């Protein structure tokens, strides 16, 4: 049995062809996802225009301006999701806003040219996410935010309380496996 070798130029062409084919397939998949998203948004816009015509029938229609919202962190709610994940992974340890700011810059690829820009991000985006989690009972503030201004806040994730059924199951398990 003889082994034939594929010439290097053919290997290169086969490899390049496979890479291009893979990229085209990825684009086709993304186009399918985008077409489905477009159909959803067209339906949503029609519904919003219908509601607007009922809420403000006397107001003449104005041209709709395009706003590119919620793209800063890859999508709506991604900053809050990211902060939740980071706090959960750090639990039971706490993280301060300075460490969260640096981690967010790395996670989202943010570049702040000045300390003022970093402070604006920390105050507007990061603290808003932390306060949202605080209001939802998923994070707790471990610092005195009124007594010491201009200090980094310290935050920790709050694990959810177990459901009543889980507590009962744990008690039954403990009773069954108790020492005689």
Tens digit of each residue's pLDDT (9 = 90 or more) over 123-142: 888 888 888 888 888 888 87
Number of domains, the chain: 2
For the beta carbon of residue 151, count every other beta carbon within 10 angstroms: 13
Residues 62 and 91 in one domain: no
Model confidence pLDDT, tens digit, residues 12-68: 888 888 888 888 898 898 899 889 999 998 999 889 888 888 887 776 666 766 665
**Residue 39 pLDDT:** 94
Note whether 86 and 127 are same-domain residues. Answer: yes
Q: Which residue range forms the structural domain that includes residue 143?
A: 78-157
pTM of the model: 0.52
Q: Which element (helix H / strand E) includes 155?
A: strand 154-157
CA 103 – CA 101 distance, rounded (Å): 5
**Domain-located, residue 72:** no
């Amino acid at each position: 049995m003889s082994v034939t070798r594929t010439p290097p130029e053919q290997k290169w062409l086969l490899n390049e062809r496979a890479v291009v084919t893979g990229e085209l397939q990825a684009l086709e998949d993304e186009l399918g996802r985008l077409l489905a998203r477009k159909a959803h948004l067209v339906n949503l816009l029609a519904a919003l225009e219908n509601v607007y015509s009922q809420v403000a029938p006397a107001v003449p229609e104005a041209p709709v301006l395009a706003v590119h919202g919620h793209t800063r962190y890859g999508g709506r709610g991604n900053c809050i999701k990211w902060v939740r994940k980071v706090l959960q992974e750090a639990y039971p340890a706490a993280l301060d806003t300075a460490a969260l700011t640096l981690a967010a810059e790395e996670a989202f690829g943010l570049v702040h040219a000045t300390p003022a820009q970093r402070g604006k991000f920390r105050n507007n985006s990061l603290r808003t996410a932390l306060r949202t989690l605080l209001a939802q009972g998923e994070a707790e503030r471990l610092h005195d935010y009124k007594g010491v201004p201009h200090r980094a806040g310290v935050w920790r994730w709050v694990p959810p309380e177990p459901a009543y059924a889980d507590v009962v199951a744990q008690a039954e398990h403990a009773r069954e496996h108790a020492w005689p």
